[in-house]
Amino acid sequence: MDRSLHRVNQTTFKKTRYFMLLCAVLSISSVAVVSPMSAIAARHIPKLSVQKQVLHVPSISAEAACLVDVDTGRVLYEFHGDRKMRIASLTKIITGWVAVRSGKLQQIVTVSHNASRQEGSSIYLVQGERQTLLALTYGMMMRSGNDAATAIAEFLGGSVSKFAQVMNHDVQSLGLVHSHFVNPHGLDDPMHYSTAHDMAIVTATALKNPMFHQIVQTKYYSIPWASQPWDRKMKNKNKMLWMMKNADGVKTGYTKKAGRCLASSATWHGHQVALVVLRDPSDWIDSANLLTYGLTAYDRSNLVTTIKVAVSAPVRFGEMRTVPLKVQGQVIYPLLSSEKALVQVVPFAIKKLSAPIQVGQTAGKVKFMLAGQILGQADLVTSSSVKGKGWLGRLREMFFS
């Protein structure tokens, strides 16, 4: 072979191989990599963790915010919580919550023309592409794919409008009345709105679903890419997962009209809080500070062991007329130190026991209350035994007492 021709062929092959590699990198980066400016900004965000107690609510820049204890649903902090506002892609929290409860996560969804052409953020679905509902949910929650959200809505609801009815129904079933949705992704619409309070309650509720929790705390995930020889390799847009050690979700949101919105959560010593900030130019730092406040300012010790209860039950046919009771069980409710002394203990359903009585017999119940609200309840059980009087003593008590 002519050597010059060989060199030309070799050069052409190298250029072709380089071009193919470059295309692959660009295609993957379109799904997996944030913009250069975002990457630069991420390097300047401090890594935070829950290390010390924060007793005072930190100042924030948000127009509205709501912080909720996930286990109990208690609102720990609220600022303009009921103000109706645009929520951008925080909408996808509800879409994802509906999806993980559908029982159809492993079923195949065929992407429609409408879904593939959805404007805004995308995972680059194409018409006719087939994905599992689970894969689409990952794509929607991690990369905020509006195309994935639309495909999910059409699959589960039959249409976007019918799915919006499901969203509204499910949110209203939680007792939330300040929200209304017309689409599954959060693109601006005057009839599409919610509040920081409503979205915080929805987020806390959704986080109790193990699959939802798993999805929103995932940093990296891959799903098939039918039109390419490689998978979609996705990196979660939620920078809170990297900047705060204890963070475990949930969703970013932004449109020009809605501003910067963020739903986040963090867990410490087995306790989890959820936070929503709306129109917050300092959403990352504000959220980290508020999450830390929610996890450290409130005491979550067992009220059964920390609050003394002095109560007894009447006894029939025993050597003692009463028997002391103790509280048994677990009532954990987040309380500020100033609130603990205000907790009231209300015994109820006390039984009149008949001797002989053994230690640990159930004798009633007790409510723990704060400002008229029931924090929880536990059993009252006997803390000592009581011997019976015998048949002669029983007769005396029956006829002469």
Which residue numbers are catalytic? 89, 92, 144
How many of the other CB atoms lie within 10 Å of CB of 233?
A: 16
Element (H, E) at 20: helix 3-32
Q: Cα–Cα distance between 115 and 127 in angstroms, integer?
A: 8
Q: Cα–Cα distance between 134 and 107 in angstroms, integer?
A: 8
Q: Cα–Cα distance between 231 and 270 in angstroms, integer?
A: 35
DSSP 8-state symbol, 50 = -
146-157 vs 91-100: helix crossing angle, rounded to 10: 50
Pairing of strands 271-278, 311-316: unpaired
Distances (CA, A) of 159 to 90, 115, 152, 187: 20, 11, 9, 16
3-state secondary structure of 53: coil
DSSP characters for 189-244? Answer: -TT-BB-HHHHHHHHHHHHTSHHHHHHHT-SEEEE--TTSSS-EEEE-S-THHHHB
Burial class (CB in 10 A: 0-12, 13-18, 19+), 66: buried
Q: Cα–Cα distance between 314 and 205 in angstroms, integer?
A: 43
